């Protein structure tokens, strides 16, 4: 399902605010939060930079907020002990978080369970 312009604008605004807040409160050496708009939602990246560079040394997907079956959902990347991507899992608190965008973005930003960043 393709997103409307209004939904896209709302996603970019929420993601920009969440990443800005996260980057402001986390040391640069721990990485930077970034996002990218995709067809049916937004995906978040953890980017690691060398101290003397403006380009990411490496970047990997950590979470997605997607519209599925007319409901918003938060997916978290699952990685093995070697940090190799294994697949996507629905965030375990999705029932508590509900279908509204604001709580989903707050969960990504704050990551109280340490599942994303």
Instruction: Tell me the domain boundaries of the chain.
Output: 5-110
Dump pLDDT digits (tens) for 91-109: 999 999 998 999 999 999 9
pLDDT of residue 53: 64
Bridge-based pairing of strands 85-90 and 71-79 is: antiparallel
Chain CA centroid to CA 104, Å: 9
Within 13 Å and on the Cβ side, how many CA atoms surround 77? 19
Reported as type and span, the H/E element at residue 58 is strand 56-68
Residue 14: partners with Cβ closer than 8 Å, 6 or more residues away: 101, 102, 105
pTM of the model: 0.89
Give the largest Cα separation in the chain, rounded: 44
pLDDT of residue 54: 67
* 26 DSSP assignment: S
**What mean pLDDT do residues 17-27 have?**
90
Beta pairing partners, 85: 79
Dump pLDDT digits (tens) for 5-16: 999 999 999 999
């Amino acid at each position: 399902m393709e997103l409307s312009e209004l939904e896209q604008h709302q996603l970019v605004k929420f993601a920009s605010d969440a990443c800005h807040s996260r980057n402001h409160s986390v040391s640069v050496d721990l990485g930077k939060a970034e996002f990218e708009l995709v067809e049916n939602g937004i995906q978040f990246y953890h980017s690691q930079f060398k101290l003397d560079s403006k380009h990411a040394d490496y970047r990997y997907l950590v979470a997605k907020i997607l519209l599925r079956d007319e409901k918003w959902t938060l997916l978290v990347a699952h990685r093995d002990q070697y940090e190799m991507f294994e697949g996507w899992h629905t965030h375990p608190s999705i029932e508590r978080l509900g279908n509204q965008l604001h709580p989903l973005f707050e969960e990504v930003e704050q990551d109280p369970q340490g599942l994303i960043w």
